[in-house]
Structure 1
Amino acid sequence: MQYRTSRRTLLTATAAVAAAAATTPTASAADESGRARTRDRLMRLIARMSLEEKVGQLFVMRVYGHSATAPDQADIDANLKEIGVRTAAELIATYHVGGIIYFTWAHNTRDPHQIADLSNGIQRAGLAQPTPVPLLISTDQEHGIVCRVGKPATLVPGAMALGAGGSRSDTRRAAQIAGAELAAVGILQNYAPVADVNVNPANPVIGVRSFSSDPQAAARLAAAQVKGYQSAGVAATAKHFPGHGDTKDDSHYALPTIHHTPEQWEELDAPPFRAAIAAGIDSIMTAHIVVPALDPALDPATLSRPILTGILREQLGYDGVVVTDSLGMAGVRQKYGDERVPVLALKAGCDQLLNPPNLAVAWNAVLSAVKNGEISEARIEESILRILQLKARRGLFRDPYVTHRGVDRTVGIRSHLAAADRIAEETTTLLANTGGLLPLSRRREPKLLVVGADPASPSGTTGPPTTVLAQALTELGFTAAALSTGITPTQAKINEAVAAAQGKDAVIVGTYNVSATSPQRTLVSELAATGVPVVTVAIRNPYDIARLSGFGASLATYSWTDVELRAAARVIAGQAEPTGKLPVPVQRADDPTQVLYAVGHGLTY
């Protein structure tokens, strides 16, 4: 009974937080007073916490299992091996973590009702702590090529596709839909939008996750997504500060270096983050990158006080939550040991410490740093206050629970799916159309062959891209057969595709990140040599066209999720107009200093 009373007191005492924290810079005196009262309530809550609970609030951790208390045995085993606890509930009771991140591979996101139940179980565990505090549940639901919650949830186009559409209203609407569906299953912090400006076509980790190579276009659309997500009740997270767009290395596996001068950073990298801050962004994620011009010490930005405090906090005036990118990534682990990384991140200016490889090591390192005076308790309380204010602003103190009824009213509903289809149509980009090959005629039941790359599908797709595209074309009146030739087709597979193309009216080839030595080039040229018209569809980066020859028409979809492939099928069939425009330049393969297709290029029928 004492627990029930303390929880009710806590929820009642902080019920006004969301409204007070959501005010604009032109807030009234009453609003300012409300925020001050809320801050005082949260400071009293912090004062009730033990040091161990305070340290726990700083961490956002992974956990295996579909249930907070009764995961499958394999997930229990994985939790014991990696974290030393059996379940999410034990994780919360042991380490008092302030947040949990969901992953598909951790079996957290099987279906919407299961996700909602998991979220509720996590919140019950949080409110059962000695000092009851709800948890902030997060995930990476960027859409496009990065999704953790799949069908029957609505999958909307990803960032570069939205950049091709160029519509702020569509971009905001896509985020509203995505945010509403995340909130319905209890996920109230989304690690999106990507605010990186993809100025390097060879970038291995950002690419189509970026809106554009144009900083101002990226800024407009990043701000639109911030407003969309947060109007739906979900904290948006602009990433990866100070900007991961001009790298040739992937920070999951290496420590990239950005060689921009301060002036170049201000011109190329800063605009989307400035726009996100102006839009009221709740959180910003750091990058595990080195920017020598911003920090001569060559520390990763996640651990750099000159970057996070000097630039983000002081120069840009940001006082929201700063979350690290995953502390398990190689980019942040190369220079310092795992026990130093979380301490240095806090000293640099971070608030949330995301997914350390060894939680016990990280948690105890921060605890020891506070006890021995390296980090003051007042310093971690600054971060805890920001985290609690964010939780309050998103309604977690008011009511942290979700319902199956709310899921059914929100997730994957007809209006959301229709909006996603409409938006996707406006992002599909027609790069080339020799002789007016597209749209394909649907007279006399034309026969098509769909071949190409079938990369691992993002969550929620119904099958390999070739199969999805063939099915969509069949539903539109074609007779379409699918043949997966893979990302690196063998000559035997190319020969099989050439033989299958005989007697077809056209061949559709899905291409995926075509390089100078890719056998996908041979596939396209040998299919073209048959005399059967060839349509290429770049299902990830739009740069593929520069390395291909012999095709009659070429499309870019920027991802291979169902919504984008179905839209491409409608464009191929003439059921939709290709109105997308390139948000990045496509350079010549033989001379990268020359632009083959400029930003803004896109043909129509």
Structure 2
Amino acid sequence: MTTTREWDNWSLKKKVGQLFVFGFHGFEPTAQIKQLIETSGIGGTIYFSRNVKDAKQVHKLSGELQSIARKAGNPPLFVAIDQEGGMVARLVDGVTLMPGNMALGATGDKESARETAFVCGEELRQLGVTMNYAPCIDVNNNPDNPVINVRSYSDRSDVVAELGAAAVAGYQAARVAATVKHFPGHGDTAVDSHHALPILLHGRDRLDAIELKPFRAAIEAGTDCIMTAHVCLPALDPSGVPSTLSEPVITGLLRKELGYDGIVVTDCLEMDAIDKTYGPEQGAIKALQAGADMVLISHTFDKQWAALEAVVRAVENGELAEARINEALNRIMTLKEKLVLEEPLLPWSQVEWEIGTEVNRAVAIKWSEASVTLVKDEGPLLPLSREKSTLVLWPKIVPVSVADEMLSGDGSLGHFLGEYGANIVERQMDDDHPFADLETFSQIVVVTYDASKHPVERDIAREVVKLAPERTIAVSVRNPLDLLLYPEVKTYMAVYECRPLALAAAARVLLGDLKPQGKLPLEISAAYPFGWSAAVHS
């Protein structure tokens, strides 16, 4: 006997609305997002940095959005965010920012992924965020990948599988839906799907051995959600359709073969791989036809509204089966019953003491410190002398989102070295940087962010290493492959992000106050393979 559920009797428009997650601009609900919640009954919204000031403001925003839905007689929203940790974090102020995936991979301990995800999830939950678009479980096996890189745990699929499954368990123990991404794999691409359509030409055997292994583990771990990739894999669908729009990939592989019955959410349909080819309207229809349950459109109201209307018309004219809408809606509402229907957001006065606590911060510090990797020290130049004059050179090329934090004087490597008693002068690299006074410094620390993509950063690092080889230490604060750009450097340390806790840990290692514990989570070269640490092998 089939039980009739409340949502079975909803109008088509209300059913369709629940299948969409929309972003908006601003720190408060806009008239447009209010309209989408009230009149279209959308299923969720997503926060970006443009929506976030600090923890208290996010808590207030979440409450306001849910109030709009409730007063309109609609179900509570999923509130989503990309809070991966490390370099990909929308919410920084007032919360405990956890290390990113590659830093966790460098710890060599799956507990790092579970514990950091649990603490992050608990804080998100207190702020009304119930769906995290994390962890990223792409395998970072292409050094030219412009979009994954340190967002991956490793270049080894078994490591990614183990840590990814642990993170899923952590988030969901905190009652936040984990969303593993980007199915069926975005790690081995040299094209960013934000700007074009990547094509991955590997055969099925290779995909099973590498790309799909972490997703199998996440499914086994019970992940609530899986996000699709705008990547074309001819071995899975020879039509050339991106995986987000591919029935053989979503329904054939993910649903039928891998046995996944949770929510499938698309990556944003405003990314150029979809927007410049199919457009969000046809993209939404095709994604739902392929087997996706929720459609993400992050930015533009007109495109969001048009996609909603297009899906309703597609059902009315028979292009898209209503049974497919009902199937997706059932998955969405089942998860909402588990996570959001019966748990209203608590007042700020009751939750503020549980966010950004010293206990939570201790977790982040512990795993940040465990990730710092000494790759080579042939001088040896470590530990740095606190008394000797030390020049710290920072790259000019850093993300806008972290530049102020990193270079403000209280979030840089030089700041932390100075805090720990070193005699520091800190400068920012640029095209006009003079090297005439290098001889006045007894010790030089060159910091690079992603030297392969930024010629100025690469060239200055090379020049300093050439001019002062016996006094220069290099520290990468994102891409550990930077060593390949200045291999002559005698001492090289990999820190996988330029967030304050990582830089504080790096400063302690440089000064000898902390033993480097991390091991390379990927191969840099034959001389520096996966699992390498100069602290162990020297």
TM-score calculated relative to the size of structure 2: 0.95
Q: Partner residue of 1:273?
A: 215
Q: Partner residue of 1:101?
A: 46
- Is the aligned partner of 1:510 residue 2:452? no
Shift of residue 92 of structure 1?
A: 0.7
Shift of residue 365 of structure 1?
A: 0.6
Distance 1:392 1:532 in 2: 63
After TM superposition, list the pairs within 5 Å mapping 1:191-270 onto structure 2. Answer: 191-270=133-212
Equivalent position to 2:522, from 575, 584, 599: 584
Q: Partner residue of 1:360?
A: 305
Distance 1:134 1:329 in 2: 27
Amino acid at match of 1:404: W
- Is the aligned partner of 1:372 residue 2:317? yes
> What's the secondary structure of 2:198's corresponding residue?
coil
- State the identity %: 40
Distance 2:221 2:403 in 1: 30
Q: Partner residue of 2:362?
A: 418
Contact 1:142 1:158 in 2 (8 A): yes
Amino acid at match of 1:411: I
Shift of residue 113 of structure 1?
A: 1.1
Distance 1:239 1:111 in 2: 26
- Is the aligned partner of 1:602 residue 2:521? no
- Is the aligned partner of 1:89 residue 2:34? yes
Q: Partner residue of 1:501?
A: 438
Equivalent position to 2:328, from 370, 383, 386: 383
- Is the aligned partner of 1:347 residue 2:289? yes
Q: Structure 1 residues 194 and 516, CA, compared in 2 at 3 Å: closer, same or farther?
A: closer
Distance 1:55 1:382 in 2: 11
Shift of residue 152 of structure 1?
A: 2.1
Note the alpha carbon deviations across 1:534-570, whole angstroms, 9 max, x for none. Answer: 1111111110101104423111111111111111111
Q: Partner residue of 1:6?
A: none
Distance 1:110 1:88 in 2: 18
Note the alpha carbon deviations across 1:177-208, whole angstroms, 9 max, x for none. Answer: 11111111110100000110011111111111
After TM superposition, list the pairs within 5 Å mapping 1:452-531 onto structure 2. Answer: 452-454=394-396, 455-456=398-399, 458=401, 462-464=405-407, 468-485=412-429, 489-490=430-431, 492-493=432-433, 495=434, 498-515=435-452, 518-528=455-465, 529-530=467-468
- Is the aligned partner of 1:318 residue 2:252? no
> What's the secondary structure of 1:515's corresponding residue?
helix
Q: Partner residue of 2:343?
A: 399
Q: Partner residue of 1:138?
A: 80
Note the alpha carbon deviations across 1:86-142, whole angstroms, 9 max, x for none. Answer: 25323311321110000112xx21111111111011111111224x30000001011
Note the alpha carbon deviations across 1:387-441, whole angstroms, 9 max, x for none. Answer: 11111222x1112313213431222110111111111111111111013211213
Distance 2:348 2:437 in 1: 48
Distance 1:547 1:273 in 2: 33
Contact 2:96 2:355 in 1 (8 A): yes
Equivalent position to 1:541, from 479, 486, 506: 479
Contact 2:462 2:485 in 1 (8 A): no
Q: Partner residue of 1:123?
A: 66
Distance 2:116 2:245 in 1: 33
Contact 1:504 1:532 in 2 (8 A): no
Note the alpha carbon deviations across 1:450-469, whole angstroms, 9 max, x for none. Answer: 11214025469733388611
> What's the secondary structure of 2:88's corresponding residue?
coil
Q: Structure 1 residues 536 and 341, CA, compared in 2 at 3 Å: closer, same or farther?
A: same
List structure 1 segments (4+ residues) > 4 angstroms apart after TM superposition. Answer: 457-461
> What's the secondary structure of 1:426's corresponding residue?
helix
Distance 1:519 1:232 in 2: 44
Contact 2:106 2:372 in 1 (8 A): yes
Note the alpha carbon deviations across 1:18-68, whole angstroms, 9 max, x for none. Answer: xxxxxxxxxxxxxxxxxx9xx95xx52213422111111001001122223
Contact 1:579 1:603 in 2 (8 A): no
Shift of residue 376 of structure 1?
A: 2.2
Structure 2: stretches of 5+ with no match in the other structure = none
Distance 1:102 1:372 in 2: 34
Contact 1:192 1:238 in 2 (8 A): yes
Amino acid at match of 1:578: P
> What's the secondary structure of 2:21's corresponding residue?
strand
Distance 1:60 1:500 in 2: 55
Amino acid at match of 1:540: R
Contact 2:406 2:499 in 1 (8 A): no
Amino acid at match of 1:104: S
Amino acid at match of 1:393: K
After TM superposition, list the pairs within 5 Å mapping 1:530-569 onto structure 2. Answer: 530=468, 533-569=471-507
Distance 1:99 1:390 in 2: 12
Q: Partner residue of 1:570?
A: 508
Distance 2:22 2:93 in 1: 24
TM-score calculated relative to the size of structure 1: 0.84
Q: Partner residue of 2:10?
A: 49
Distance 1:530 1:537 in 2: 15
Contact 1:507 1:532 in 2 (8 A): no
Amino acid at match of 2:441: K
Contact 1:449 1:500 in 2 (8 A): no
Query: Which of 302-311 and 49-58 deviates more?
Result: 49-58
Query: Which of 225-234 and 89-98 deviates more?
Result: 89-98
- Is the aligned partner of 1:110 residue 2:53? yes
> What's the secondary structure of 2:346's corresponding residue?
coil
Amino acid at match of 2:17: G
Distance 2:438 2:177 in 1: 49
Q: Structure 1 residues 170 and 202, CA, compared in 2 at 3 Å: closer, same or farther?
A: same
Amino acid at match of 1:602: S
Q: Structure 1 residues 299 and 207, CA, compared in 2 at 3 Å: closer, same or farther?
A: same
Q: Structure 1 residues 151 and 207, CA, compared in 2 at 3 Å: closer, same or farther?
A: same
Q: Partner residue of 2:377?
A: 433
> What's the secondary structure of 1:604's corresponding residue?
helix
Distance 2:60 2:350 in 1: 12
RMSD: 1.9
- Equivalent residue pairs, number: 530
> What's the secondary structure of 2:143's corresponding residue?
coil
Contact 2:139 2:185 in 1 (8 A): yes
Amino acid at match of 2:278: Y
Q: Partner residue of 1:148?
A: 90
Distance 1:389 1:361 in 2: 27
> What's the secondary structure of 2:286's corresponding residue?
helix
Distance 2:400 2:443 in 1: 25
Equivalent position to 2:99, from 157, 163, 172: 157
Contact 1:457 1:463 in 2 (8 A): no
Amino acid at match of 1:45: E
Contact 1:458 1:561 in 2 (8 A): no
Contact 1:149 1:460 in 2 (8 A): no
> What's the secondary structure of 1:450's corresponding residue?
strand
